[in-house]
Structure 1
Amino acid sequence: MGAHDSEVHPEAAVAPGFLTTHAAQTFNRLADEALRADGLSLALVAPLMLLHWKGPMLQRDIVLHSAVRQPALVAVLGKLEHLQMIERVAVAADRRAAMIELTAAGKQAALRGGDILRSLNKIGLAGFSTEEIAQLVALLQRFSDNLTKSSGTKYQK
């Protein structure tokens, strides 16, 4: 998609919200295609990578660190448990809680997912200088922070 693509509204072609959404959708589609060869998806790899990074966690803590809502995450964790990539370990102090831990297969999947995501980022950043990459990251973080801070704001008509 170029800035002068006749299929894209001229205002959208220069709107950061549209451009970041388009980039994210493209990235996610390519990630899912690459992960599918390993029987995975971006939705499955995200909690695996979080657990690989942070170590065993309670389900509620995974929700706090995730963009996925509780009901959807419960389904994802159920699938990961069925695939034997995670296991639930009872917490002695709270019979209702379970610690979620990676299995050996889950660790391998987390590493594979990380490799694929790093590779896609590298492809997306082809031709960017080190300074441009740092600037892009800083600008995207600021854009995201501004939107997060605006939660609950009334929007102009």
Structure 2
Amino acid sequence: MAEYCVYAVVIGVGATLVMDLWALLLKRCFGVPSLDFSMVGRWVGHLPRGRWMHASIAKSSPIAGESSLGWGIHYAIGVIFAALLLLIVGLEWARQPSFLPALTFGVVSVVAPFFVLQPAMGAGVAASRTPKPNIARLRSLAGHAVFGVGMYLTAWVMVLVGR
């Protein structure tokens, strides 16, 4: 169990970092804005108050520490997704990673923002209420694919350093 947890945490954090570096590259080189994680923190901050649906999360009342909370949740979700991948494909995958399971899981994980986070934050199912839904969908899909690649790369780094 301890080994499973170590792999899940390291792979999840590593993959989320790869995803964030991808977003930073897009922002710096191409001016593509990335998700404001303080809005994720705001959404999570409203959950204990019984509010999980918002017409527009940006117009909802701010939550103290929402930026830190949002970033923490972002990385925690990365760890949870890595744990789910390991649960599905087995711990042996982390010892001998292969590309396709990680990429597939990364792409499939886009279901979470499409059907949970985006609707709950007021963007509609699969970003349907955004100004350019197809662009938003493509960016989400690409980001989650990069997350999958990040899981694969992080697992290989663990193999190379002799986790």
Q: Which structure's residues are more often strand, by fraction?
A: 1
Higher relative contact order (CA 8 A, sep 6+): 2
Q: Which structure's residues are more often helix, by fraction?
A: 2
